[in-house]
Amino acid sequence: MAAKENKRAPGWKEMPIGGVNPEAGNAVKYNTGTWRTFKPVWFNDRCIQCYLCWINCPDVSILIKEGKVAGIDYEHCKGCGICAVVCPVKPKKAIEMVKEEK
């Protein structure tokens, strides 16, 4: 997880013009996980390690550690719910969508 950057955002003289982003892959620094209504909750004890959630996640937000599904990246997960839909585990899925509570 990238640390939150606390420094002042650049002024207009310091930025590339035209909204060009010259830094490839820097989306990891930008917290897009604030839009969710529902969040996926992953249950390790039910998970069969099929990786379907990891394959289907459009935001690369299924965390993998040492080759195994290890949880959700809540800084970038937008709560689309695809992981919970594709999870094949029965009778209770290994990923459930839960309403966000502030």
* All residues at 6 or more sequence positions from 89 whose CB lies less than 8 Å from its CB, including other chains: 46, 47, 48
Positions in 43-102 near another protein (CB under 8 A): none
CB of 15 to another protein, least distance (A): 6
Nearer to another protein, 19 or 91 (CB): 19
Rounded CA separation 99/73 (Å): 16
CB of 13 to another protein, least distance (A): 8
Positions in 4-43 near another protein (CB under 8 A): 9-12, 15-22, 24
Rounded CA separation 34/46 (Å): 27
Nearer to another protein, 2 or 15 (CB): 15
Task: Retrieve residue 62's tokens.
Answer: 């299924």
Rounded CA separation 55/83 (Å): 9
Q: Which residues bind another protein (CB under 8 A)?
A: 9-12, 15-22, 24
